[in-house]
Structure 1
Amino acid sequence: MSSMNSSHSHPSAFILIGIPGLEAAHIWISIPVCGMYIMAWIGNCIILYIIKTERSLHEPMYYFLSMLAVTDLVLSNSVSPKMLAIFWFHSNEIYFDSCLIQLFILHCFFIIESGVILAMAFDRYVAICNPLRHSNILSNSIIIKLGLVILIRGVLLAIPYCFLLIRLPFCSNRVILFSYCGYFAVAKLACADTLISAIYGLTVSIMVMGFDLTFVIFSYVMILRVVFRLPTWAARLKAFSTCGSHVGVILTFYILALFTLLTHRFGQNIPLYFHVIMANVYLLVPPMLNPIIYGVKTKQIRSRVLLFSVQNTNHRPLDCYPTAT
């Protein structure tokens, strides 16, 4: 590892602490982290496999769910392996370029996930409020265009994070009091004014969550107006059931995101290890819970999972079983 040539260059590598103050408990903390990582991998891969192989699921709701599953896989893979390496093997060093890549992926795919959740809310709005035109409004070409817009927005908003850090001078302190390369955690190590970096990071977080959450709430207000006009409770419950899994994903993602943001900005008296644990929970829990929520709440996916389990138990072809309705 090379040292810095001057005080106005960046170090060749940083040192990730893991969870500061709880280093002695890292091996125990690694158990739930590893469990969540494995569950996220298995759950999201099952969701993708079922949607790919079951032709009845080739519709907008499940295309967006596929995007969500891919996003969750990328997010969990960008953090969990390095985190487990720190906990198990004390592999605390991370190269500067690797740190920037991890940071870019985290912020890019956080923005993408928020955009996918917004697109899913729009899909539910069209399906309930304008069902006769659902297939025309959300055609395959429109879904592809929406996916590209969501991806491009994430990339364009995440790139400045890297450029703002590259232009900062770093001094002798290379220790990041975090378990991954978070933007604010890395920027704190700079020996220069980081006001612009802080403003940009906070602005993007508020803008993305504020914009997306506002339109998600607006979509569900319109959905509720239509649902409560339905003549019977049975019809209302059926309409609500189509939104149940998406509401669970919304609550998991945005509650954890808002709580993490608020504790970071206003929780100066909260111990540092709590900040780090909450930041880890925010990145580890949604990728694990999202496939569980959809698997439990969505009849088509639940049926295919049960059929797949029966197939493996009896070692018989899946075609021997009746198709779920």
Structure 2
Amino acid sequence: MSDSNTTDFTNPSTFILLGIPGLESAHVWISIPFCTMYIITILGNFTILFIVKTEPSLHEPMYYFLCMLAITDLVLSTSTLPTILSNFWLISREIEFNACLTQLYFIHSFSVIESGVFVAMALDRYVAICHPLRHSTILNNTVVAKIGLAVVLRGAILALPYPFLARQWPYCRTNIIPYTHCEHMPVVKLACADIRISSYYGLFALISRIGLDVLFIALSYTQILRAILRLPTKEARVKTFGTCTSHLCVILAFYTPTLFSSLSTRFGLNIPLHFHVLFANIYLLVPPMLNPIIYGVRTRQIRDSLLRLVTLKGT
């Protein structure tokens, strides 16, 4: 391993993941909340999937999109956390070159898919509030399936250049990645070549993923707020807006750390490396854990279904 750190090479067989530089002595302790978050993510999202599948009253567009979100969260967290825990617990820091690129692709593609699901959810809320009588007609099962397919295809296609661009560069300086997992910019920064193409494409993908999606979500909620403000009573306005609070909470939980991590990686903001790496893990681990909790607490139909399930299990 020491030879690979210092010897010139053009196509490394493995990369070395350092974990969280500067906090190596605390890796075991940091792994405890990480593992706890992963367990909650698994239990919470599988519970959402089970409840929606077994409860016929939840077979609606909003809950279909919620199931897409749950599956995306499971894949996103599972694509990273086993590598992180292996690093922290087993001191197993090597990852094969192709495995690194595969992990990189899954992280970026499912991040795009998750963002697309939030746009689809915003569309559902817009139709439900602004065109309530036509909701079932506009968002029928066929349309929902097409939207879901478009969201998945966009994520798969938009992230596809990442591993191909990373593969083409020569890596002749080092194969040490000061990270807990493989992401696009930390990997290509190791290349001894002009990586502006990778950087420009990454910025384009970031704008496409966050910029356009946030714009569409903002436009949807502008129309939603206009419709809510036209309601005759305060109680009706509060009740209608309450149907959107879960969606707004998960949007903030996802986009805030994602945007901060993406911009700090790309433009090298003057922050300690260990803080940046911790934040990069937070945006991959915390939203998948919070999403089922937020929807479970804030959505009455899911909460009631869960209570009935627990009651039946207890009798």
TM range (shorter): over 0.9
Encode CA deviations 1:129-173: one digit per residue, 9 max, x unaligned.
001111111111111111111111111111100110111011141
Conserved? CA contact 1:19–1:277, under 8 Å: yes
- For 2:141, the equivalent position in structure 1 comes to 140
Counterpart of 2:220 in structure 1 is: 219
User: Once the 2 structures are TM-superposed, how far is the Cα of residue 247 of structure 1 from its aligned partner?
Assistant: 0.7
The alignment partner of 2:192 has SS state of coil
1:251 and 2:252 are equivalent in the alignment: yes
Residue 261 of structure 1 and its aligned partner are, at CA, apart by 2.5
Q: Does 1:122 align with 2:114?
A: no
**Mapping of residues 88-107 of structure 1, within 5 Å:** 88-107=89-108
Is the Cα contact below 8 Å between 1:3 and 1:12 reproduced in 2?
no
AA at the equivalent of 1:293: I
| Structure 2 unmatched runs, 5+ | none
Q: What's the CA shift for 1:310? A: 2.1
Aligned to 1:76: 77
1:76-97 per-position Cα deviation (integer Å, ceiling 9, x unaligned): 0000111011111101110011
2:160 match: secondary structure: helix
Shift of 1:56: 0.3
* Contact persistence 2:48–2:70 (CA under 8 A): yes
Percent identity over the alignment is: 57
2:307 aligned residue? 306
Question: 2:43 is matched by which residue type in structure 1?
Answer: I
Root-mean-square deviation (Å): 1.6
Amino acid at match of 1:123: D
Q: Does 1:110 align with 2:111?
A: yes
What's the CA shift string for 1:156-191, capped at 9, x where partnerless?
Answer: 111100110111011141111000001111001111
Residue type of the partner of 2:97? F
Q: CA deviation at 1:266?
A: 4.6
The one-letter code sitting in structure 1 at the alignment partner of 2:135 is H
How far, CA to CA, are the matches of 2:101 and 2:266 in structure 1? 23
Structure 2 counterpart of 1:170: 171
Q: 1:217 to 1:111 in 2, by over 3 A?
A: same
Is 1:25 matched up with 2:26?
Answer: yes
SS at match of 2:21: coil
Counterpart-to-counterpart distance in 1, 2:236 and 2:272: 49
Q: 1:99, 1:181 within 8 Å by CA — same for their partners in 2?
A: yes
State the alpha-carbon separation in 1 of the partners of residues 264 and 98 from structure 2. 28
Q: Which stretch of structure 1 is more off in the superposition, 255-264 or 241-250?
A: 255-264
Counterparts of 2:44 and 2:51 in 1: how far apart (Å)? 11
Q: Which residue of 2 aligns with 1:12?
A: 13
List, as ranges, runs of 4+ consecutive aligned residues in structure 1 with deviation greater than 6 Å.
Answer: 1-4
Could you tell me how far apart the structure 2 residues matched to 1:161 and 1:259 are? 20
Partners of 2:44 and 2:293 within 8 A in 1: yes
Whole-angstrom CA distance in 1 between matches of 2:266 and 2:251 = 22
Q: Is the 8 A contact 2:11 2:170 kept in 1?
A: yes
